[in-house]
Amino acid sequence: MHFRIITALFLLVILIYSCSKQDELPEVNRSQVNIDDNYQYAAFNNAEAKLGRFLFYEKALSVNDAVSCGSCHKQQFAFADNGVGSIGFNQQVTSRNSPPIQNLQIISFGDPAQLGVSLFWDGRREGLNEMVLDPVMNHIEMGMRSEDDLVERISTISYYKPLFEDAYGSEEVNIAKIRNAMTSFVGSMLSVGSKFQAAEFGMLSYSALEQEGRDLFFNKYDCESCHRIQEPAGYDVAAIDDQKFVNIGLDQNSQDQGRADVTGNPDDIGRFKIPNLNNITLTAPYMHDGRFATLDEVLDHYSVGVKNNPNLDDRLKDENENPMVLNITEEEKFAMKAFLMTLQDNSFVSDPKFSDPFD
């Protein structure tokens, strides 16, 4: 009996020690950080956006200095993640795929109540300022225990003093400044350099194959009824929920509740926010759970794979209320992929002002 008690106490001491060590930052060389860049951002306060860049890539925002926002939102993938789920601070994997974060300026500087903007796959946040610290506090993603802990952590890192001074006229760190800086940086991530954007303004011409794909996208298959690729958010931000969250028949019975997690409405089970297709060729894998590795798999789903889910969107039903079977040909898929390639903005994913300042 005494042996069991002693063993139990020993294990408890080990557990307490391990938990306390998790709060300690491992040795990280921060002495060589260069804060003297002069990039210009699409933000009201350029110094604030600059500060936000450092915070976005700052691993000290995670409880054990293991990951940053940039660990799951990678510039080369249009600030999406190239894994099915993202790996958090403790090597746990998120249940949903990290979506791209681009062209959210309308969210940063607009009125969410009027714009009807939604963030995350289930739309649980409206407005970028509300959202930016959710991953930091998430128990899987970054694991920070409180806003006070976050403020204390950032306050101890020397290179933030001049950055906060430049942005706000004071070295004082508080949670509102952290939120605002990250909002300014993420809100300045504007992808406006694709061939699609230039062609739609008459500055470039599509190839014959790209034009064929465009015609299929906008006309024959009416993909644009959901994917408003001419809108910055990728969908109509002024629309009602039914136009922003859709059930596309991925499963007959949805395991992930989707929008229903927020609304509690059974009709919303399996509905997810329409993703922004800008840079779609860079943001694989696809869907909220990253189940499709390629665009071919996505097109195959819409062609012959739509399941008869109880909440299947009406736009994916035929005249008999059954899942629509489009039977997209291989030639059509090839043309549509050529068109989707025109949505790729190489200047955005290589722009140094959005890059990791710690590299």
Question: Can you read off the two tokens belonging to residue 161?
Answer: 């003093």
Name beta bridge partners: 246: 272
Q: Which CATH superfamily is domain 30-190 in?
A: Cytochrome c-like domain (1.10.760.10)
| Burial tier of 111 (Cβ tally within 10 Å: 0-12, 13-18, 19+) | exposed
C-beta of residue 20 within 8 angstroms of C-beta of residue 31: no
Q: Which CATH number fits domain 195-346: 1.10.760.10, 3.90.580.10, 1.10.3470.10, 1.20.1530.20?
A: 1.10.760.10
Dihedral class, residue 207 (left if φ above 0, else alpha if ψ from -120 to 50, else beta) = beta
Give, for all 359 residues of the chain, the pLDDT tens digit: 443 443 343 333 333 333 433 444 444 556 678 999 999 999 999 999 999 999 999 999 999 999 999 999 999 999 999 999 999 999 999 999 999 999 886 543 444 444 456 899 999 998 889 899 999 999 999 999 999 999 999 999 999 999 999 999 999 999 999 999 999 999 999 999 999 999 999 999 999 999 999 999 999 999 999 999 988 778 777 776 667 899 999 999 999 999 999 999 999 999 999 999 999 999 999 999 999 999 999 999 999 999 999 999 999 999 999 999 999 999 999 999 999 999 999 999 999 999 999 98
Indicate the DSSP class of residue 169.
Answer: S
8: Cα separation from own chain's centroid: 44
Do the two domains 30-190 and 195-346 of this chain adopt the same fold?
yes
| Residue boundaries of the structural domains of the chain | 30-190, 195-346
Q: Give me the pLDDT at residue 185, please.
A: 97
300: Cα separation from own chain's centroid: 24
Q: Give me the pLDDT at residue 154, please.
A: 98
309 vs 323: CA distance, rounded Å: 9
